[in-house]
Amino acid sequence: MVKDNSTEQKILDAARSVFIQKGLDGARMQEIANEAGINKALLHYYFRSKDKLFDRIFSEAFDTISTGLGDVFSRDIPLMDKFKNFIDLYIDVLSKNPHLPVFVFGELSRNPERLQKGIEKNMNNIMGPFFIQMMQEVNLGRLRPIHPAHLMLNMIGMLVIPYVARPMIAPILKQHLNIDFQDILDERKEVIYKFISDALIIDEK
Partner DNA sequence: TTTTATTTTAACCAGTTAGTCAAATTTAAA
Partner DNA sequence: TTTAAATTTGACTAACTGGTTAAAATAAAA
Q: Which is nearer to its own copies, 43 or 69 (CB)?
A: 69
| Residue 30 contacts DNA per CB under 7 A | yes
Q: Which is nearer to DNA, 9 or 59 (CB)?
A: 9
- Exactly one of 4, 76, 198, 204 binds DNA (CB under 7 A); that residue is 4
Q: Which is nearer to its own copies, 1 or 140 (CB)?
A: 140
Residues of span 19-78 touching its own copies by CB under 8 A: 21-26
Give the span between the Cα atoms of 47 and 117, in whole angstroms. 23
Q: Torsion angle of alpha carbons 3, 116, 44, 21, nearest 10°?
A: -110
Give the span between the Cα atoms of 51 and 48, in whole angstroms. 8
Do residues 38 and 11 touch, judged by C-beta distance below 8 A?
A: yes
The CA-to-CA distance between both ends of the chain, in Å, stands at 73
- Exactly one of 17, 34, 35, 40 binds DNA (CB under 7 A); that residue is 40
Residue closest to 79 by CA, chosen among 148, 162, 166, 2: 148
Kindly indicate which of the ranges 2-10, 86-94, 140-148, 180-188 contains the residues binding DNA, using the contact rule CB under 7 A. 2-10
Site string for DNA, 42-61 (x = CB under 7 A): x-xx--xxxx----------
Q: Torsion angle of alpha carbons 90, 108, 20, 159, nearest 10°?
A: -20
Q: Which is nearer to DNA, 50 or 99 (CB)?
A: 50
| Residue 39 contacts DNA per CB under 7 A | yes
Q: Which is nearer to its own copies, 42 or 185 (CB)?
A: 185
Give the span between the Cα atoms of 130 and 168, in whole angstroms. 35
Question: Which partner, its own copies, DNA, none, binds residue 146 by CB below 5 to 8 Å per kind?
Answer: its own copies
